[in-house]
Amino acid sequence: MRRRLRMARRGLGYAMAVSLVLVALLLGVASQLLPLAERHPERIAAWLSERSGRPVAFDRVETEWTRRGPLLKLDNLRIGPGAMRWWSAMPRCWCRSTKACCRDRRCPSCACAAST
């Protein structure tokens, strides 16, 4: 009985160690592939359009890996039927929020608050 418990504990420890190594490897690969997104902004725009169900356009994308994960900075983001028109543009939003604070221009951590 004790031998089985010891073997089960050891197997669980090995499984956790292997899973941690795999997660670290996956995050390392993702951080190395992140700059590819800067080279293909049209794919990002198509993916965002598909997810939102509206046309999405932007002028430039910058990528950065932070402690919280990947961060995409979209310059001159335009959403909706007039996405291709320059006068429907929103200012650069640096925050990670997609909540009403950016739509209402009340977000203190991004350029939206400074532009009003």
Which pLDDT tens digit goes with each residue over 88-102? 444 455 555 444 445
Residue 110 C-beta-side C-alpha neighbours within 13 Å = 21
Q: Does some domain include residue 70?
A: yes
pLDDT in tens, 48-97: 999 989 999 998 999 988 888 889 899 988 888 876 655 444 445 555 54
* pLDDT digit string, tens, across residues 2-49: 899 999 999 999 999 999 999 999 988 988 888 888 899 999 999 999
Domain membership of residue 58 (yes or no) is yes
In a domain, 103, yes or no: yes
* Number of domains, the chain: 1
Residue 24: the pLDDT is 94
* Residue 107: inside a domain: yes
Element (H, E) at 114: helix 111-114
Q: Could you list the residue range(s) of the whole structural domain that residue 45 is in?
A: 34-114
pTM of the shown model: 0.51
Q: What does the angle CA 114 – CA 82 – CA 58 come to, to the nearest 5 degrees?
A: 55
